[in-house]
Amino acid sequence: MPAKRRQLRGFDLKQIYGFSGLIGVDEAGRGALAGPVVAGAVLVTREFLEGRWAVSKSGRVNDSKQLGAIERAELWAEFDELVRLGQIHATFGVADVAEIETVNILGATKLAMRRALEGIYPPEAFDRQEEPDLFASQAEKAAFTPTVSCKILVDGLPLKYFPYPHQGVVSGDARSLCVAMASIIAKVTRDRMMDELDQLHPGYGFAQHKGYGTEEHRETVVRLGRCVAHRDSFLRKLFAKPRDLEGQLTFFET
């Protein structure tokens, strides 16, 4: 297994120092023309990172875009078993097309990430609280709830106006094991949702391109028109007059 993949676990072992847990967060579908944006969140502990699965099998984990569909499905099944055994916690959050159109794609991405994280801890669990001093009453000491000791790693740059304290990691899905695991959770979840949309809206090829702006998909939209699964704000350039196409967006997979 390439050394670069093994470094993902080593990166997390350094990041978790001083914390009880490490939560990786990543999204899928941000650059698509259709369908929701989905975020994954995975909580790991030092015990997990030093355990048998992480030591022997985590080298198979990588940025979801670098893995084939079969590899992602196999890893998804293994993550599901790890969750069942209580070795990790994995969740996902979704922001739909209507929300993307209402709060824009960045706002919807943050919304999906927040929903994924809420499946692990609510934002208020990270509020800083002062520990009672030596002269506090027994009732004050009993009422004290320590701050959650987890560090959150989000793929990409830090997010502004986000309710969770976090650290942005550029190319985090290629550097951090828990972020890469989150990217797989997000990607597999969204791909399955796009397969369902393909059944609801046949003819657009959602099961093949997953809503991304491939040439075939763009041609199909021009020929058939929009469906309710499309993001109108992402299609404006596609339906613009030729003289308005300067600086047309490039649609890429994330």
The pLDDT, as a whole number, for residue 121 is 93
Q: Which long-range contacts (CB under 8 A, 24 or more apart) does 214-222 make?
A: 217/33, 217/34, 218/33, 221/33
Q: How far apart are the first and last CA of the chain?
A: 24
> Where is average pLDDT lowest: 1-10, 14-23, 118-127, 202-211?
1-10
In DSSP notation, 31-51 reads T-SBS-EEEEEEEE-HHHHTS
Domain spans in the chain, listed from the N-terminal domain onward: 3-239
Q: Indicate the fold that domain 3-239 takes in CATH.
A: Nucleotidyltransferase; domain 5 (3.30.420)
The pLDDT, as a whole number, for residue 161 is 93
CA dist 15 to 43, 63, 244, Å? 13, 18, 47
pTM of the model: 0.86
Question: Cβ(167)–Cβ(151) under 8 Å?
Answer: yes
Over the stretch 163-172, which tens digit does the pLDDT of each residue have? 999 999 999 9
Over the stretch 93-104, which tens digit does the pLDDT of each residue have? 999 999 999 999
The pLDDT, as a whole number, for residue 244 is 44
Q: Which of 3-17, 108-122, 127-141 has the highest mean pLDDT?
A: 108-122
